[in-house]
Amino acid sequence: MNSQKNGRTPLANDIYERMVAEKNREPEEGEAQKSPSKIVDESLSQISRSSTFLPNIGVPRLLKTGQSSSTAAQACMQAQFEAALQAEREEAARKQEELQAQLQTQQAALEENQNLLRQTKDEVRGMTTRFEETNTLLRAVLKLQKD
């Protein structure tokens, strides 16, 4: 039902009065004066979050002034982000140390295996030499027996 006096519904009158009161309110210390567009946006968002009045008249949508955009909430979110980032950095450093220790262990094992391979090759060379010497001696003995 519309008011005979101004043509607005009681809800519209209530919203209008709140907007006028907000516009006339003195900002608290450290708080910026709200623009009329912001006051309208906040008032309309109390009725419907999907209000398209401001965008339809060419005013870009303003940031909502809920808990998520307050300075305290932003500081809390930033602190949480920094704590998570610090935890990730510590985890990355711990994993880096583990990988470095694993790399050193594997390098030591590789060096040991290379030394064993060298020793085995030397032993094979020695055995090959002894085999050739033994083979030569056996041929000489067999040749003497033929004669």
Tens place of pLDDT for every residue, the chain, 147 residues? Answer: 555 667 778 877 888 888 888 888 888 887 788 888 788 777 777 776 666 666 667 666 655 544 444 676 677 778 888 998 999 999 999 999 999 999 999 999 999 999 999 999 999 999 999 999 999 999 999 998 987
- pLDDT score recorded for residue 66: 47
- pLDDT score recorded for residue 9: 80
Three-state secondary structure readout of the chain = CCCCCCCCCHHHHHHHHHHHHHHHCCCCCCCCCCCHHHHHHHHHHHHCCCCCHHHHCCCCCCCCCCHHHCHHHHHHHHHHHHHHHHHHHHHHHHHHHHHHHHHHHHHHHHHHHHHHHHHHHHHHHHHHHHHHHHHHHHHHHHHHHHC
- pLDDT score recorded for residue 18: 84
Predicted TM-score (pTM) of this structure:
0.40
